[in-house]
Each structure stands twice: as structure tokens, then as C-alpha cells.
Amino acid sequence: MTESVVSARHLGKTIQDRVILHDISLDLPPGNVVGVLGKNGAGKTTLLETLLGFSRPTTGSSALFGEDSFTLPAAIKRRIGFVPQQDELVSTLTGGQQLSLTAALHRRWNRPLIAGLCAAWEVPTARRIQALSPGERQKLSTLLALGHEPELLILDEPASSLDPIARRQFLQQILEIASAQTRTILFSTHIVSDLERVANRIWIVRDGTLAWQGDLDALKESVVRLNIHGRTALPEHLDIPDIVSCRADGARATVVVSGWDDSQARDITQRLDADVEVESLSLEDIFVELHR
């Protein structure tokens, strides 16, 4: 059985009587690119930081490569790269000096890879970090996390300061670097289009809980919009399982459901004496519907 790269059991985190995370359980095998999606304040950053062992959970437990997150041995830490939402760069150093300092702390460092990415991403390594733009600082932080070629790469809003074109190029190159089937990426963002472009699995964090975890394709198949056109006025209660949202007016209704199965269409058609059109949704549409 393949060992989970990341796992959690009934993970919870409370800060000053405020519940940030509640009863999160998950298992993530290697080789996946996971998009961690949620509104600002939903708990994404707290989830990543707790999984990394930066703070002890209030309830439950989490593990990386089978080791408790809060007591990770050095050998496991060397297998992890992390890009925080707020960088921890030394402002008085140049970008090149920061890269050299970090490289010296690792047993191995892929200098050709980092040199190539510095050029491709146009990172001004001769300039002091305090003079870099937010986007340049984000790129530099990512280089620091990539140089030792980690098996697990965790990025918390790594491209939020980039323009759309630069963000697309940046994410594509990250994916190319992480294309090895043994490498795993957790990528947190509130920019839904980024995840749809790069992730094969999705975690949706809503109010501190994991509202969805699974394959992106499965999510798109599970949450659909039903356009219902009745031959007469529809009943007040449509009696359709797992309704996420419903807008009805006379003989017409627009219903978003989760857990959809195509076999349900025939039952709805016969029971409501209506035509039912099943409409697939984009990830952004699904995200909006799940947060209404």
C-alpha cells in the first residue's frame, strides 16, 4: 500500500475560543497536484501550517510521510519545500545572496535549475530584496523552496501578486518541475482559475471544514445545474436530493445539486412532468454555488 504523503485524522484548531479548523480527515498519496480552495479567512493557511507542524493542533493529528507533523525528524523536513503567504526573506541581502545562503543549508541544491528559473522568471538577483516588487519576492521565495528538489511542495497563495499572464507562465513552469510522479504539490489560492488550470485534485475549505476532497473531474461530475421546464406549475418542494441552491418561478426552476447521478434525470422528468437539462459547471461556478 502506498504511504500517504499527507494525512490527518479529526484535525481541529481553536485560537482564543475561535474554531479555525474542525474535524478534518484526509489522506493524500504521492504524485498529486492538490488545489486548496477557499474564501479569504476560510482556514486555508491555518490548515497548511498545521499540517506542516508549525503549530500543534487542538484536536486530532496530522502526519507527513508517516511522521507526526509536530515532531518531524530532520530527514523528513529535507523532503519538504514551503512557500509561505508572507515571505521570510532577509531584506538587506540581494536575491543572489539569499539563494546562496539557502543553498548552503542543504545537502543538495540544483544550481542549474535555479539559474535557469532565475532567467526565465526574470528575478533580479543583483538587487537587494527590499527593493523587489511583491511579485519578484514571491518568485524568489519559490526558488528557495525548489532548489533542494523536495518531494512535497506546499505553496500558500504563491502567485497572488503576479499579473494574469505572468501567473499562468509561473504556474506552468511549477507543474513542469513537479511532473515526476513521486512529487506532490499542495497549492492554496482563492483564484479559482489557477486551480482549474493546474490541479488534478481539489480540497475546498469552507468555514474551517473540508467541504470537498477528491478528483477535480469527480467534483465537476458531482455538482451540476439542472434547468427544469415543467409542463405545468412546479410544486413548491421539488424533493430533489442534495440541493445546493434553487431558484423557481412557476413552471421553471434552476437547481444546483451535489452528488449528482445521471440516473436521477429520468425520475425527476417523470415525477415533475418536466424536461430536465443537465448543465456542467466550471470550478468557479461550483465554488460560488457552494458558498451561497
Q: What is the pLDDT along the chain (292 residues), one digit of tens a residue?
A: 568 999 999 999 999 999 999 999 999 999 899 999 988 889 999 999 999 999 999 999 999 999 999 999 999 999 999 999 889 999 999 999 999 999 999 999 999 999 999 998 999 999 999 999 999 999 999 999 999 999 999 999 887 778 888 888 888 777 777 666 678 999 898 778 777 778 899 999 999 999 899 999 999 999 999 999 999 999 989 999 999 999 999 999 999 999 999 999 999 999 999 999 999 999 999 998 988 7
d(CA 131, CA 257): 49
Q: CA 117 → CA 99, 170, 193, 218, 287, distances in Å? A: 12, 10, 23, 34, 33
Angle between helical axes of 111-120 and 134-146 (0-180°, round to 10): 160
User: Residue 282 is placed in which grid cell?
Assistant: 466550471
Hey, what domains does the chain have and what are their CATH numbers?
6-215 (3.40.50.300), 223-290 (3.30.70)
Helix, strand, coil shares, percent, the chain, to 5: 35, 30, 35
Instruction: Extract the C-alpha cell encoding 275.
Output: 424536461
Task: Note the pLDDT of residue 180.
Answer: 61
What pLDDT was estimated at residue 193?
Answer: 78
Q: Is the dihedral of CA 182, 171, 203, 75 positive or negative?
A: positive
Q: Measure the CA dihedral 35/86/117/90, to 10°.
A: -160
The label of the residue with cell 473531474 reads 217
